[in-house]
Chains A and B, each alone.
Chain A
């Protein structure tokens, strides 16, 4: 027995590392890539416990034994104790499983997220308004966080992570109603009283089921085809007998547990080729940038015609493709994200200061160069620097970081062209701050995040733009991103109304 114990002990000690040489090494654990072994030597020589831990993680995460150990632990907790609480997931009442990042608005102090939400909403609103200048319609659609539609599983353990999410969702709705009222919130077509017995989401997945997906598609279809008309949800015949058995990607990716769950189906498949509802009628080129919610059902390809570019944003490699498609001046752009990602996206790549705005700005400036003729337009004589800069001859020196000046625009119902030329000591972008946009429900002349930036270069610069139509005030602010004591010179600002 003693010898046997020693033999087993020795095997036990070496199996996790030995398996690296015997079995295939893991490149991912669930949907997360294992830690890289790059710089392992430098990390080990640092003598730092965290670095050592990192290298050990990188080694053992590749071991097949580690994969099985994680799976065994999660199986015990999930099936045995019927409760799981990992970095990503937490179990709620009646085995509802929630993805923790959806509780991104958990702070309870009233107004805590207001500015962040306002900036994000304005980022999207400015993107849409500028795209409109070149005839591109932009729709932002938001797939709901599961907790917004299926809060019945929220118990006190989930609440510990959710915090004041519900309170802040109300703030989000309110601020979007003010600054980005055209955003489509899919949760609005998933009312509790019309839900099928299984609800709109899977219990063990962060995604919606087929009923949730279909409702969202109908809402999107209406927004694209008949935005001016009130939306009446279609009557869909959820089957009492037919169900789908769906493999749960959430448990498989995050707990390494393969499981199926039943989801509702319709008596009549709504996306059948014979259905007159689909595809959505789009004139011209449409680009749909979406995440895993739209991608969760292959029927997405039936919802749009074959010319529509469906781009799965979760693949980093698709970024270039998005920019390329946007450069073609599409007629329609749909951005779809789950709510938990929206603030990050709207104030990031999908907003007016993100990488996807660059092709839109290029198109706007190209049109402005084509159509705006400033030859006989005089420069504005009075520039109101708002007290942030001093003028000496042709040279303007900043007395604080990022000084700005007001530009009075002509009174018109038409489109306004703007030209700003200047010489700069260094490459500095220029921010264009807009007044309330046509569809915004606010009287405040200025608002956080309602601006876009035009890149600048060292030396002479000329910015030519066409501004969004129907802005609710005939003033903009221009803010060169120069630091205190930096100068620009030869500033020349002109505006004209397009005929």
Chain B
């Protein structure tokens, strides 16, 4: 089940909202959240629902245990147990086949399983909770229902943001619902839906066509259009989902951290990772990078640590060599920036760096990320490097077919995010506009327009999964 699915929007959500808000009045908030979240997860992952339930139980107990026995060995044991389902479902087949286990053997078939939706997200949240308790930054929650409601809370369950308990426990402990917060949630939710349905899905048509082209048909034009369209698609898809999650959270009185802050307006890769999937970057910073010694190590060790963090970030996205390469690729640029600019890499002075450096690097990175394998990635990247080759601007008919007027318009509109300069994300500004006299009516009109557009797009289209579900 996804947020843009008509079943979610027009059946699950109204019932869930009505029941959970009513149950909150009856002091049954956590139970109702858990019930609806488990229903939501059941229709997203099926019988592997047990992975979520087990994760809740293990991390809840783990928090209480490490609070009582602050031992690295105990912590390690709990973390290993927490990571086991993720390692098995996501990585066992990849590692086994790379170690020579035939995919069609008994062992290979055993490990070739479908990844439970969102397992990377809720496992990381559970780990952050246990580690935070271990570090003394958080008191273990003794209320299993409250903790279960946090970890299973459906708005953030399967595609983030990766919400740490210490960021939201206040909202779970006390009911912070209000008309303003609810309205802000509606505005943000509808904004996210429009990003997904109008821009990401249309750009996705072009992306799929370009990346289905093979061999010599991959020209400079195919590679360029495909990579630019994917740059748009993945941003609007994922940030749109985050907007929806944040919006839904607010409707239930929970304030999630921001996950995107205009990433394509960065001027360096270092800055990009402070704006892209912020909650994931923060997780790796706080639980991997700092654990490896942080900044207080020798420069050589620092660079190695950075590469480790980015390889881990890459492989978090999926069990494939393309993700490993993508992580290394970003890690290499981070290291180079660190060598050249030191801490200044976080915000370079010159705007033009965004266009001559950041965007080209990110765009090539997305090719690696999107390609089915490294050979396909190389085909597209090498085509991108040959703008003056014969037939460089040829487009196969399949790509032409995808370049419909509506898909082109939507993608071009999405390209605004590549060139604009702004102070804050539009979603945040819209939320703030709810309480500002000068902006409240424009925000209202925009939201009502969104209702109409989303209803048309959602009711008239078939199933369209979010990109980040595969992670």
A residues adjacent to B (C-beta < 8 A): 1-6, 8-10, 12-17, 46-49, 52-53, 55-57, 59-60, 63, 65-66, 69-70, 72-74, 76-77, 81-83, 85, 90, 155-157, 159-161
Contact = CB atoms under 8 A, between A and B. Distances in A.
Contacts of A10: 14
B455 A82 contact: no
A56 B459 contact: no
A157 B209 CA distance: 12
Top 8 A-B pairs, shortest CB-CB distance: A56-B7, A160-B401, A69-B459, A160-B397, A13-B14, A156-B400, A2-B183, A81-B405
B398 A160 contact: yes
A63 B455 CA distance: 12
Contacts of A1: 434, 440-441, 444
Contacts of A49: 1, 43-44, 46
Given A5-B187, A53-B5, A81-B406, A70 B451 contact: no
A22 to B, nearest CB: 14
A52 B46 CA distance: 11
A157 B7 CA distance: 33
Given A3-B179, A77-B406, A159-B397, A69 B460 contact: yes
A55 B12 CA distance: 13
5 contacts: A66-B6, A73-B457, A156-B397, A157-B403, A157-B404
Contacts of B14: 10, 13-14, 17
A157 to B, nearest CB: 5
A2 B43 contact: no
Contacts of A69: 455-456, 458-460
Contacts of A72: 456, 460
A83 B401 contact: no
B6 A5 contact: no
Nearest to B457: A73
A39 to B, nearest CB: 16
B461 to A, nearest CB: 8
Contact of B460 (A8, A13, A73): A73
B451 A60 contact: no
Contacts of A15: 10
A77 B182 CA distance: 34
B99 interface: no
A4 B42 CA distance: 34
A470 B370 CA distance: 64
Contact of B404 (A9, A65, A85): A85
A14 B10 contact: yes
Given A47-B47, A74-B460, A85-B401, 4 more contacts: A12-B451, A14-B14, A52-B7, A69-B455
Nearest to B17: A13
B400 A160 contact: yes
Contacts of A77: 406
B332 interface: no
Contacts of B441: 1
B340 interface: no
Contacts of B396: 160
B186 interface: yes
B438 to A, nearest CB: 12
Interface in B443-471: 444, 447-448, 451, 455-463
B5 A56 contact: yes
Which of B409, B434, B459 counts the most A-chain CB atoms under 10 A from its CB?
B459
Contacts of B373: none
Contacts of B6: 16, 56, 60, 66
A90 B179 CA distance: 46
Contacts of B58: none
A5 B456 contact: no
A57 to B, nearest CB: 8
A8 B404 contact: no
Contacts of A81: 404-406, 409
B444 A4 contact: yes
Contact of A157 (B47, B49, B400): B400
Nearest to B14: A13
B179 A2 contact: yes
Interface in B179-203: 179-180, 182-183, 186-187
B11 interface: yes
Contact of A5 (B397, B444, B462): B444
A83 B202 CA distance: 14
A181 to B, nearest CB: 34
B7 to A, nearest CB: 3
A60 B459 contact: yes
B288 interface: no
Contacts of B180: 2
A65 B409 CA distance: 26
Contacts of A155: 400
A82 B405 contact: yes
Contact of B401 (A6, A48, A53, A156): A156
B9 interface: yes
B13 interface: yes
B46 A16 contact: no
Contacts of A46: 46
A14 B186 CA distance: 15
A8 B451 contact: yes
Interface in B14-62: 14, 17, 42-44, 46-47, 49
A46 B448 CA distance: 36
Contact of B406 (A2, A3, A83, A90): A83
Contacts of B447: 5, 8-9
A17 B6 CA distance: 10
Contact of B455 (A16, A17, A157, A159): A16
B4 to A, nearest CB: 12
A440 to B, nearest CB: 37
Contacts of A48: 46
Which of B179, B180, B404, B447 counts the most A-chain CB atoms under 10 A from its CB?
B404
Contacts of B43: 47, 49, 52
Contact of B463 (A9, A53, A85): A53
Which of A2, A59, A74, A156 counts the most B-chain CB atoms under 10 A from its CB?
A2
A16 B459 contact: yes
A66 B401 contact: no
Contacts of B405: 81-83
A17 B44 contact: no
Nearest to B409: A81
B412 to A, nearest CB: 13
A70 B462 CA distance: 11
B459 A66 contact: yes
A17 B183 contact: no
A70 B459 contact: yes
Contacts of A74: 460
Contacts of A60: 6-7, 10, 459
Nearest to A256: B460
Contacts of B398: 160
Interface in B396-421: 396-398, 400-401, 403-406, 409
